[in-house]
Structure 1
Amino acid sequence: METGTGSAGPGRPKQIEAAWALTLAAVAAEVLVWVLGVFVVPPTGLDELTGFAGRSAAITQLLWSAGVLAVLLGSWLFVAARMRAGRGWARAVLTVVGAVFLLFRIGGLGMDGIDPAWWAVLNALPDVLAAAAVVPMYLPEARAHFPSAPRRTA
């Protein structure tokens, strides 16, 4: 088993570190897409919500949205950290999430109608990164990181 150095820790394969890095990139990309969609790329989410429900309701809705996003991303990072620590259940969860993200993205490619094209590509980036993070977790060197017997400690 090949192990990484430095922050990889003793006995942690570099493939696991690659999966961790891809997950961090996916989370960062998700935050970037949310912020750009709400405040930058026209028509912004803030503009659309303000036109529909008024400024106060729009801000309330966006705060709720940001809160839910923070909880989901925090949960995603928690599960990814457990995968990094060698928990097989976390690898399985990340595999399912990555596959679902990719299937939703592939299924919606022709229906998005997102313009400009760069925005459509940026919107797809978190999903593609999440799916890509699954691959290194199943490489031969990484599989040894996950014991076949369940662990009793948290």
Structure 2
Amino acid sequence: METAFWLSLVTVVLSMAVWALGAFVVSPTGFEEMRQEMGQHGAVAQMLTSAGFLLVDTALRVVVAFRMRAGRNWARLVLTALGVLGMFLLLATMSMDGLGWETVTESIGDLPLSDSVLSLLDACVIMLMFLPTANAYFSTRSRTD
């Protein structure tokens, strides 16, 4: 379970890094694009809203990861649901926008690989949480609590 736990935390850190890079670092930044579309006030409001949702998601994932590490089966199911939801959102985005491979050479911020890597990490966490040894870990923990 340690590997799944640490991989969950890596996924959280990477998702925050991808958001920050896309929003403020990689040109054209998401903030620049929003400012052109909505003006300064609208872009700031949108970035604050986005950052707020990211912080809530991050806090939720960290708390649930620690509960999963403690052997709580409900936490394993929540992490699974969050990971699967993220994968479905990635598939929906790819079906609307295409794979976007032409953007690979243009900008990391537009790179579909960043979301794909996060979904792949989520899939690894899910797989690790449902290995036979993990199943034994969760069933043993639930009997002792």
The TM tier, using the shorter chain, reads 0.7 to 0.9
Query: Is residue 131 of structure 1 aligned with residue 123 of structure 2?
Result: yes
Aligned-residue CA RMSD (Å): 2.3
Moved more, 63-72 or 142-151: 142-151
Query: Is residue 50 of structure 1 aligned with residue 19 of structure 2?
Result: no
Give identity over the alignment, percent: 38
Counterparts of 1:36 and 1:151 in 2: how far apart (Å)? 44
Counterparts of 2:10 and 2:97 in 1: how far apart (Å)? 23
Contact kept? 2:72, 2:141, Cα under 8 Å: no
The residue type equivalent to 1:104 in the other structure is L
Q: What SS does the aligned partner of 1:144 have?
A: helix
Contact kept? 1:136, 1:142, Cα under 8 Å: yes
Question: Gaps spanning 5+ residues in structure 1: where?
Answer: 1-15
Spell out, residue by residue over 1:14-44, the C-alpha distance to the aligned partner (whole angstroms, 9 max, x if none).
xx11111211111111111111111123332
- Label 1:28 to 1:149 Cα distance change in 2 as closer, same or farther (>3 A): closer
Query: Is residue 142 of structure 1 aligned with residue 127 of structure 2?
Result: no
Query: Is residue 105 of structure 1 aligned with residue 105 of structure 2?
Result: no
Per the TM alignment, residue 106 of structure 1 is displaced from its structure 2 partner at its CA by 3.2
Query: Is residue 83 of structure 1 aligned with residue 75 of structure 2?
Result: no
- Label 1:26 to 1:149 Cα distance change in 2 as closer, same or farther (>3 A): closer
Q: Which residue of 1 aligns with 2:6?
A: 21
The residue type equivalent to 1:116 in the other structure is T
Q: Which residue of 1 aligns with 2:58?
A: 73
Q: What SS does the aligned partner of 2:125 have?
A: helix
Q: TM-score, normalised by structure 1?
A: 0.77
The residue type equivalent to 1:135 in the other structure is M
Query: Is residue 116 of structure 1 aligned with residue 108 of structure 2?
Result: no
Per the TM alignment, residue 75 of structure 1 is displaced from its structure 2 partner at its CA by 0.4
Contact kept? 1:86, 1:146, Cα under 8 Å: yes
Counterparts of 2:52 and 2:129 in 1: how far apart (Å)? 29
Which 4+ runs in 1 deviate beyond 3 A? 148-153
Q: What SS does the aligned partner of 2:96 have?
A: coil
Q: Which has the higher helix share?
A: 2
Q: TM-score, normalised by structure 2?
A: 0.81
Q: What SS does the aligned partner of 1:111 have?
A: helix
Moved more, 126-135 or 77-86: 126-135
